[in-house]
Structure formats: structure tokens, C-alpha cells
Amino acid sequence: MTDVTLSGIHKRFGAVHAVRGVDLAIPDGEFTVLVGPSGCGKSTLLRIIAGLEEADAGTVAIGGQVVNHLPPRERNVAMVFQNYALYPHMKVYDNIAFGLRARKVAESEIGERVKRAAGMLSIGNLLDRLPRQLSGGQRQRVAIGRAIVRDARLFLFDEPLSNLDAQLRDDMRSEIKRLHRDLSTTMIYVTHDQIEAMTLADRIVLLRDGRIEQMGAPLDLFERPATRFVAGFLGSPAMNFVPARLSADASVVEVDAAMLAVPAGRRASLAGRGASAVVLGLRPEHMRRFADGEQREGVVRLGVTIELIQPTGSRTYATFRLAGVPVVAELQAHDVNRPNERLDLGVDMNRAVLIDPATDRVL
Ligand SMILES: Nc1ncnc2c1ncn2[C@@H]1O[C@H](COP(=O)(O)OP(=O)(O)O)[C@@H](O)[C@H]1O
Ligand SMILES: [Mg+2]
């Protein structure tokens, strides 16, 4: 059982308080992604789990055992980094076998393990090559092979795909997901890329300034963000944030001259605030072209003038202005054809979020 428990972790580098009290319990076999903007403390936290950094306060437990005082090699943890430094003068086989030889594993067993790992990663035909004879994606696979061959009880990944081009990144992402399915080993994966986080994770831990902002299943975070930060971080194109006012009885959100009805089912929880300023959070996909005669509960009509059109092929992103801020709507390919077009949008107020501008918390 390789569950991981972090309790009250703090880490300072001089004046920089990089990790500020992280409590986290990762169950055995889970794929957890630590995600957040650059500098939020992801790598530091991962290195503390690996034993490459020492926490100033708090405990790290792996498989129920506190490991704070164990050196990295005694934690039985495998780590894959962004810069997959391979030994340049060693063939792929020997790169993968290196850690096993250092542990005095028998050559016959090394041969079996290397072949099994190479098979999983589809690099069986590359074992006789030198690193310089490989593409970036193949090198990264060798680096992952070097990690999985060890039968570690826990895998740690620090932005392993950042140096690859987009197509290769997509391929390797699927491979890492398949690897987790096949090995069922606990994995902790660090990335700043929200799409990587959404697609890989059983559970996302979103970090901000050294603290956990929110954690949960990817779609839970996406559909029920607790704060403006979470709402804005997940999703591409990002959620639009529009200054607005909520009426005293919470029946309408006023934006510019438009009155957007709040679905009846959502009013009770919002009433009692009195008339107040709110931020209306609308994802691009919460808006679509309003069809004549359309009547859907919670979908309100909004007339806009499109300023900018960005076709992607299957979808078209259309930008208009609302309460002075640019808003992006995701429309069908031919919904809008030229700038300055007037268009009626249907805004899905069932899915819109309302945010308290004083606290940045979702209401
Ligand atoms: N060895 C170090 N010495 C000084 N500051 C560091 C060191 N490592 C990280 N930091 C600082 O700690 C903060 C968190 O860094 P890091 O964990 O690398 O963030 P992330 O991986 O999320 O980008 C940053 O402000 C970074 O500059
Ligand atoms: Mg980092």
C-alpha cells in the first residue's frame, strides 16, 4: 500500500516562503496532479516527497511510514524530470539497466525487466541505440523506462512533457495514462498545463502561492470552482469575468442594460445578500447562438455585436464587449461570418458562476 500523506508542510528559501502549510492525503494507486502557475511551489513539494529537499516543518509519510529522515534512495520512489538526462555514452539498454546494476540485481533479471519496460513503452527496437540517435520523445520514453524498471512503489513526474512538441506531448500523455492503468502504482505528476492536469488526473490539487487552493476530481473543479482563481485557471479559452449587479431578490443579474434572469432554483441560495455587486463568470461554451423560438429553462437571450472572429475549423471563437470587458463565446463554425455582425446569444445561466468581488469566492 503506497498512500502518501503530507501534514503541515512548510518550506522557505531565504525570504521566499515556497510552501505554506500543505496537508494532503493521496490514496494508494491514485494519479494525483499538482497543478498551478509557475513558482507556486509544485516542484518544491515533489522534491520534498522524493527527499531531494527537506521540509522546514511537517511530515511526509509514504506507505504509512514517516520518511522525513530517510535519504532519497531509501524511499523507493522513482522520479522523472523535465530534463531527462540520459548517459550519452551508454546505449538505451544500459541507460535503463543502470539503476538495477547499481543495486546488484542479477543480469538475467535485469534483461527481463528492461525488456518488459521497453515493451510497455514501445522502445524495444531502440535498445542498441545511443541517446543522440533518438528523437526527444524517444529519449523521454527511455527516461520513463529507467523509472518504471525499478519497481518503485511511487512515481513522481516533474513536467516530463514540457520539452516535447505538441503532437508528441499528446501521444506521451496517453502513454503515461496507459502506464498508470497497467501498473496501478501511485503517481504524483507536476505540471503548469491545465489540459494535462484535466486529462491525466484522478484528482487535481490546484496550488497557488504555496497553498492548496482547491482539490478534487477534474470535472468537479471545472464545474464547481470554489474561487475565481480556480474558475479562471481551468478551461481554455478561459472563463470570462464580467462586472455585474445582483438584484435584491436575486432574480436577475444586471449587466450593462441587459437583465439576465437567474434560474429559479438558484435564487434561494443567493437571496439575502441584498442588491450587490457580483462578477458574472461565463465560460465560452456557456453561450451559443440563440435559435428563434428556443425556450430552455435558464437560457436567456442577449443581443451582442461581434468584434472579432477566430475560426478554428470545428468551432469559431467570437469576441464581443459586455460591461466594458471583452467576452469570448464558443460558437458553431458558421454562426457568425464577419465582424460587426449583430447576433442574439443564448446564455446558459444554469452553468454561469457568480463571484463575490470582495472575497473572490464563488457564491
Ligand atoms: N533552491 C531554491 N533556492 C531559492 N529559491 C527557490 C529554490 N527552489 C525554489 N525556489 C523558489 O520557490 C518558489 C517555488 O518554486 P518551485 O517549487 O520551483 O515552483 P513551481 O515548480 O511551481 O514553478 C519560487 O519562488 C522559486 O523561485
Ligand atoms: Mg517546477
The Cα–Cα gap between 232 and 358 comes to 17
Could you tell me which of 188, 124, 139 has the C-alpha nearest to residue 159?
A: 188
- Residue to mutate (ligand 1; options 17, 38, 44, 79; most atoms within 8 A of CB): 44
CA 261 to centroid of ligand 2, rounded, Å: 43
Provide CATH 2.40.50.140 ranges for the chain: 240-362
Residues 353 and 223: their CA atoms lie apart, in Å, by: 9
Q: How many helices (H) and strands (E) does the chain have?
A: 9, 21
CA-wise closest residue to 362 among 268, 298, 281: 281
How does DSSP assign 146-180, residue by residue? HHHTTT-SEEEEESTTTTS-HHHHHHHHHHHHHHH
Amino acid 343 reads L
Q: Is the CB of 18 under 6 A from ligand 1?
A: yes
- Helix, strand, coil fractions of the chain, as percent rounded to 5: 30, 35, 35
The minimum-distance atom of ligand 1 relative to the CA of 40 is: 22
**CATH 3.40.50.300 segments of the chain:** 4-226
User: pLDDT of 268-284, one tens digit each?
Assistant: 889 888 899 999 999 99
What does the pLDDT read at residue 305? 97
Ligand 2 center to 310 CA (angstroms): 32
DSSP state at residue 233: H
Asked if omega into 237 is within 30° of 0 (cis), the reply is: yes
Nearest CA, atom 12, ligand 1: 18
What are residue 207's DSSP bridge partners? 212
- Residue 45 has what pLDDT? 98
pLDDT of 150: 84
Q: 240-362 has which CATH code?
A: 2.40.50.140
Q: For residue range 64-82, what is the model confidence (pLDDT) as tens digits?
A: 999 999 999 899 999 998 8
pLDDT for position 347: 97
What pLDDT, on the 0 to 100 scale, is given for residue 341? 93
Residue nearest to atom 4 of ligand 1 (CA): 13
- Nearest-CA residue for atom 1 of ligand 1: 13
Residue 84 pLDDT: 74
CA pair distance 57, 174, nearest whole angstrom: 37
| Structure confidence at residue 229 (pLDDT) | 98
User: What parts of the chain have a pLDDT lower than 70?
Assistant: none
pTM of the model: 0.93
4-226: CATH, from 3.60.20.10, 3.40.50.300, 2.70.50.30, 3.40.50.2000: 3.40.50.300
Q: For ligand 1, say whether the CB of 44 is within 6 Å of any of its atoms.
A: yes
The neighbourhood of ligand 2, an ion, using CB within 5 A, equals 43
Separation between Cα atoms, residue 127 and residue 113, nearest integer Å: 13
Going from the Cα of 36 to the center of ligand 2, the distance in angstroms, rounded, reads 10
Q: Are the beta carbons of 286 and 241 closer than 8 angstroms? A: no
